[in-house]
Structure 1
Amino acid sequence: MKPAMITDGERERLLRAFLTSPAIGRRRAGPEALGRYHCALTHRSYTRETGVTSGDNERLEFLGDRVLNLIVAEFLFRNYPGQEGDLTARMEWTENRNLARAVAAANIGFEDLILVGSRQEKTPRIIAGAFEAFVAALYLDLGLARTKTIIGRLMSDEIRNFRTDRNYKKILQEYLQKRDHPLPEYHLEERTGAHHHPRFSYVVMIDGAVIGRGKGRSKAEATQNAAREALQVLQGSRPA
């Protein structure tokens, strides 16, 4: 079953209604900008199935990922006094599953505007990718300052409420046990700072090889950050 075909006029009406809503506040978008927003909300499964030539959102997603990371990183830098490890952990908010959950929690009807093929489910990966593409469309249309304002209005509460208390040491140990690998060993690499304000640097080793490093204001924080980096290396999201 093919997706319901929306006339250009109907699609334009839906997009303009969304853009002019209080959540976004973009009025009188020109034809080029409107076409870009449409593209941002179009998954490749839809273009392949329907044969439309307006394009999908993959290129915009590439740009939007970088813009969103910059916006969130600056928000965290300005609003949280934590060390690098704390800020890095909070950046997990931008991962697909967390971003898709935040988009749903915003309750602005964003998912309803995403066009996908008839056999394609709107997965967290697709929702997150469409949102990143939409961020790119905002950036190209309005510039960075106004894009930051809109993202802050939509997502600041979700970023603040994001929990970062994952036990990476436990996750790493379970990951290795399932694959019959040796258990990790944590070694203090360096301690710096005053006695009342120490800074620890730990490495995590697996079978004699250093897989991850982590820093923190306590041994617990440093070893958690080391385990987190080791997981990223082992799962291929970070080079060894």
Structure 2
Amino acid sequence: MSLSIERKENLLVLSSRLGVKFADLSLLDTALTHTSYANEVKNGVIHNERLEFLGDAVLELACSTYLFNKFPQMPEGEMTKARASVVCETTLADLSARLGVGKYLLLGKGERMTGGNKRPSILADAFESVIGAIYLDQGWQTARMYILDKLDSALIAVEQGYNLKDYKTILQEVVQSHGACIEYKLIDETGPDHAKCFRFAAVVSGKQKGFGIGSSKKEAEQHAAMEALKEYGIL
């Protein structure tokens, strides 16, 4: 199917936000097409699951290669844990949200009405799909450099040994060293009971230092703590 003028304009705005000039915008369009939309509209619309599969593999290869070269003494088991921490749903969903991907997702009516464009699992899958689209459109080297750039903070966390630690515990230690106190505040929750999306703020001595989203309160708090640690220059 050909893209409408409005859709092309929207995709160009997003590609600018992503920092990638696509030769084939239809790849980006497919990366943003959720199965719920394709099943609802039918008419030959292609959903993003195949691109997600490809993007996941490209992400893993890029991170695996980086870890293999950066840490020549790191055992296979630790590399596996480190890679998992870098490409986890929370990190990918956060990247997706910050890049504004949710705004351009094509979702079925049900998913749209229940806040699917903010759901961590959908945002993370969409980011993987976008990576798949970048790989097909721009090639391995561009995709690899893009991944390393966007996952820079997570990779630095691995280098500093934070990836295997509890972000809330680390933040607690940092905050206490500054003589401050911390609490986690629920900002909002969306979605049906079986697919909730929580948004929390890490509040340090009354000031909001980081926000996090997650499919559970615990996950959202961890994510908020991670963002707050970036404010302190720890990650």
Could you state the TM-score of these two structures normalised by the residue count of structure 1?
Answer: 0.57
Out of 130, 136, 140, the residue aligned to residue 132 of structure 2 is: 136
Contact persistence 1:45–1:117 (CA under 8 A): yes
Match of 1:99 in 2: 92
Q: Aligned ranges for residues 195-206 of structure 1 at < 5 Å? A: none
Q: CA distance change for structure 1 residues 54 and 60 in 2, over 3 Å: closer, same or farther? A: same
Q: Does 1:146 align with 2:134?
A: no
**1:85 alignment partner in structure 2:** 77
Give the superposition deviation at 1:10. 1.2
Give 1:40 deviation, angstroms: 0.6
Give the aligned partner of residue 16 of structure 1: 12
Query: Larger Cα Rg: Structure 1 or Structure 2?
Result: 1
* Aligned CA distance change for structure 1 residues 125 and 59 (closer, same or farther; 3 Å): same
Gaps of 5+ in 1: 1-6, 167-240
Q: Which of 39, 45, 48 is residue 36 of structure 2 equivalent to?
A: 45
- Counterpart-to-counterpart distance in 1, 2:106 and 2:37: 6
TM-score for both structures, normalised by structure 2:
0.59
Query: Partners of 1:40 and 1:84 in 2: how far apart?
Result: 32
RMSD value over aligned CA atoms? 2.1
Deviation, structure 1 residue 52: 4.5
CA positional deviation for 1:132: 1.1
Task: Decide whether the 8 Å contact of 1:63 with 1:133 is kept in 2.
Answer: yes
C-alpha contact (below 8 Å) 1:102/1:158 kept by paired residues: no
Amino acid at match of 1:53: G
**3-state SS in 1 of match to 2:109:** coil
Aligned residues of 2:89 and 2:121 also touching (Cα < 8 A): yes
Asked if 1 retains the 8 angstrom alpha-carbon contact of 2:95 and 2:150, the reply is no
- Compare 95-104 and 61-70 and name the one that shifted more: 95-104
Deviation at 1:69, TM superposition (A): 0.5
Superimposed CA distance per residue, residues 1-53 of structure 1 (whole angstroms, 9 cap, x where no aligned partner): xxxxxx811111111122234x4232xx34xx211110011101112223352
Corresponding residue number in structure 1 for 2:67: 76
Give the structure with the larger helix fraction.
2
Amino acid at match of 1:160: I
Please give the secondary structure, in 1, of the residue aligned with 2:9. helix
User: Structure 1 pair 157/97, CA: closer, same or farther in 2 (3 Å)?
Assistant: closer
The letter of the residue matching 2:20 is: G
Q: Matches of 1:44 and 1:111 in 2, distance apart? A: 15
1:127 maps to a residue whose letter is L
Q: Post-superposition shift, 1:145? A: 0.3
Distance 1:90 1:103, change over 3 A: farther
CA distance in 1, matches of 2:43, 2:63: 34
Offset at residue 97 of structure 1 (A): 3.5
Note the C-alpha offset of 1:85.
Answer: 2.5
Shift of residue 161 of structure 1?
2.6
Q: Equivalent residue for 1:115?
A: 106
Aligned residues between the structures: 153
Letter in 1 for 2:126: A
Query: In 1, are the aligned partners of 2:51 and 2:128 still within 8 Å (CA)?
Result: yes
Structure 1 consecutive aligned stretches of length 4 or more whose deviation exceeds 6 Å: none
Alpha-carbon distance between aligned partners in 2 of 1:13 and 1:77, rounded to the nearest angstrom: 40
* Identity in percent: 31
Does the aligned pair in 2 maintain the 1:61–1:132 contact within 8 Å? Answer: yes
